[in-house]
């Protein structure tokens, strides 16, 4: 009897991040995971910050990532849907992945009902009004005029500037948070989920962003799954139609 296929989730791979020592090894490890799950998956969800930086100029896309992009195309060509939620690092992803790789791109949270379970899916940044400073920056980065102005910068300068910004942002976040779970009363995503279920029932909130691999109860019948990352944890989520489980990838599996 054939085993029922499952839904897989991953986030925060940060392909191309300046702090990663061997970019090819990093990319190949995530591609190995995609190879590992592709035949077992009914769907694959990539929940943001897959790229450390991505900006599509009209005729130019960032150099690199060919193994990853080729694997995405192979998977979607085989009939397995791949969903890509933009994160705060790949917020400037427009239509390239949809047109060239067959990936469905989302820029806002989505609620999916799967086998009578309700899943709230998002990268996890900018939810609610808990971090107004970040929400202001996000409104600038998603502004059409700001995007148009950035596109006027030569890619060599623009991508260099983005790499510098990314490094400074990561340095600040590491000093403030690191990979520590701040506690149920401090994590913005947990506060948001607890408030959200007061108006609408959700079985699982599935978020990336925080680089924490953890499942948190946010109500009697509701859990929040932090997917972790592919820099330290190499973690991912698996939904079998009934329950969500966090797992960790061994490239020799």
Query: Which pLDDT tens digit goes with each residue over 174-224?
Result: 555 566 888 999 899 999 999 999 999 999 999 999 999 999 999 999 999
Total residue count of the chain as it appears in this document: 253
Please give the average per-residue pLDDT across 225-251, as a whole number: 95
Walk me through the domains of the chain, giving residue ranges and CATH numbers: 6-248 (3.60.21.10)
Identify the pLDDT of residue 196: 97
Query: Which pLDDT tens digit goes with each residue over 33-54?
Result: 999 999 999 999 999 999 998 8
Q: What is the mean pLDDT of the chain?
A: 88
Contact 11, 208 (CB under 8 A): yes
Query: Which pLDDT tens digit goes with each residue over 147-188?
Result: 777 777 777 777 777 666 666 666 655 555 566 888 999 899
Torsion angle in degrees (nearest 10) through CA of 17, 30, 63, 58:
-100
Exposed e or buried b for every residue in 39-58, given b needs 16+ CB within 10 A? eebebbbbbbbbbbbbbbbe
């Amino acid at each position: 009897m054939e085993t029922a296929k499952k839904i897989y989730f991953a986030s925060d791979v940060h392909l191309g991040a300046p702090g990663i020592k061997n970019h090819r090894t990093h990319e190949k490890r995530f591609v190995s995971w995609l190879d590992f799950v592709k035949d077992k998956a009914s769907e694959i969800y990539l929940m943001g910050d897959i790229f450390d930086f991505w900006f599509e100029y009209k005729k130019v896309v960032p150099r690199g990532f060919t193994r990853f992009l080729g694997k995405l195309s192979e998977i979607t060509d085989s009939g397995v849907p791949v969903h890509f939620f933009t994160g705060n690092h790949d917020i400037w992803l427009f239509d390239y992945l949809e047109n060239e790789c067959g990936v469905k791109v989302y820029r806002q949270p989505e609620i999916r009902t799967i086998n009578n379970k309700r899943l709230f899916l998002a990268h996890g940044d900018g939810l609610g009004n808990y971090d107004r400073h970040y929400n202001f920056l996000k409104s600038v980065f998603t502004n059409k005029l700001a995007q148009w102005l950035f596109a006027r910068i030569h890619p060599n300068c623009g991508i260099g500037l983005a790499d510098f910004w990314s490094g400074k942002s990561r340095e600040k976040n590491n000093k403030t948070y690191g990979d520590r779970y701040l506690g149920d009363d401090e994590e913005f995503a947990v506060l948001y989920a607890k408030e959200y279920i007061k108006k609408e029932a959700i079985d699982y909130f599935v978020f990336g962003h925080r680089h924490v691999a953890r499942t948190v109860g946010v109500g009697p019948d509701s859990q929040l799954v932090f997917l972790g990352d592919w820099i330290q944890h190499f973690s991912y989520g698996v939904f079998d139609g009934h329950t969500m489980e966090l797992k960790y990838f061994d490239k020799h599996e």
